[in-house]
Amino acid sequence: MRSRSSRRDREAELVAFYGKEFASRLLIGTAGYPSPAIMQDAVRASGAEIVTVSLRRESAGGRMGNAFWSLIWELGVTVLPNTAGCRSVREAVTTAQLARELFDTPWIKLEVIGDEETLQPEVVGLVEAAAILVKDGFEVFAYCTEDLTVALRQGAFQAWFAWIFYLPLAVIGFPPLMFLTVSSFNTLYQFWIHTRTIGRLGPLELVLNTPSNHRVHHGRNPKYIDRNHGGTLIIWDRLFGTFQGEEEEPVYGITKPLASWNPVWANLHYWVELARTARRANRFSDQVRVFLKPGVLDPQGKAINEALHRLGHLRRLHAAGVIHDQQRLQARPAPADSPAFNPRVSARAREPACPQIRPPLP
């Protein structure tokens, strides 16, 4: 009787992935160790039965070779290749196909990175890549976060405040039928602008809320936050200074991980953050402004967003070849306190390097 009970307990502790059972629920990576030997020792000590391997990172780090892969095989674990470092659907799919040939496994831990600073996934591309790989016979482990806001079309509290802006229309004398007609049209209009398939539409971009303009509204890129609020017409954003044209491809989702699967918390978490921010205010007027104007008591966050905006601008200039000319950099006069002005500094230290742009630390 006791043996049956213990067997049931062991079976209950097992975890199954695609028909394979494992006693350990821990997945461990192979990157970032000081040496291959330490990596082996860490895997053995962890008791993990599944080890993730990045094909791109191991290749880029110069570790791709028979010696490294022999160490992996010696561990006797199940290898789960991943697409770490891939930032597009095409990259992820190609890397997965190469990993299948190399490791002879249909398993793939799928990652499509959308944000280089936070390494948050690009959710739309992730779904697209997963669909392609599943059709191709892969068994996909998708890397995703608790970004439930991606699935929310309307906020739960939107109806509580919308009437404040509609009430003046009734006071002015707009007929209810006219209001209902325009409101319904605005809602139906939203269906065709939520797409990445349609590009720019020429002169219509100046007047209408097009798919291109509305993609900006949903982007979490620093320059796209709180932009393009118009429902049907974009002229209001142009008039009130909230317009932003689509430049780099938007990254969708929220700026910080939700860290919860609770849909109620997905609707409430920002109110809690606002309340905590308001509590830090010394004046009552600032406490009120927290709920009316973004960035009132978050100078650090504002500075980071501005730095990230400049970072993106520098990257675009570098990609366009504007800031790669070494002679042009050498021709600039050096300040008196710079290394280039000091004759004691070595010649190598005075050589201008290609810009190594790194994101600011929060």
Q: What is the pLDDT of residue 11?
A: 52
Q: How confident is the model at residue 205 (pLDDT cuts 50, 70, 90)?
A: very high
215 has a pLDDT exceeding 90: yes
Lowest mean pLDDT among 33-42, 83-92, 259-268, 311-320: 311-320
- Residue 243 reports pLDDT greater than 50: yes
Question: Is 251:115 a contact under the CB 8 Å cutoff?
Answer: yes
**Catalytic residue at 109?**
yes
Average pLDDT over residues 72-97: 90
| Cα–Cα distance for residue pair 234/255, rounded to 1 Å | 24
Q: pLDDT tens-digit profile of 324-362? A: 444 343 444 444 444 433 433 333 333 333 333 334 443
Q: Is the dihedral of CA 288, 291, 295, 297 positive or negative?
A: positive
pLDDT of 58 > 60? The answer is: no
Lowest mean pLDDT among 143-152, 225-234, 289-298: 143-152
Top mean-pLDDT range of 44-53, 284-293, 297-306: 44-53
pLDDT mean over 234-249:
93
Is it the case that residue 176 has pLDDT exceeding 60? Answer: yes
Quote the pLDDT of residue 345: 38
Between these two residues, 84 and 146, which has the higher pLDDT value?
84
pLDDT of 66 higher than 80: no
Give tens-digit pLDDT for 177-199: 999 999 889 888 988 998 888 99
pLDDT tens digits along 85-104: 898 999 999 999 999 988 88
Q: Which of 185, 213, 218 minimizes the C-alpha distance to 199?
A: 213
20, 109, 256, 293: the active-site residue: 109
This prediction has a pTM of 0.50
Average pLDDT, the chain: 77
Q: Which span out of 121-125, 230-234, 301-305 was modeled with the highest average pLDDT?
A: 230-234
Q: Give the C-alpha separation, 114 to 221, whole Å.
A: 10
Best CA proximity match to 149, nearest among 87, 220, 88, 209: 220
Q: What are phi and psi of 342, to 5 degrees?
A: -85, 115
Instruction: Please name the residues in contact with 112: beta carbons below 8 A apart, sequence gap of 6 or more.
Output: 83, 86, 87, 88, 89, 91, 92, 121, 122, 125, 126, 129
Instruction: Report d(CA 108, CA 349) in Å as an integer.
Output: 44
Query: What is the maximum alpha-carbon separation in the chain?
Result: 86
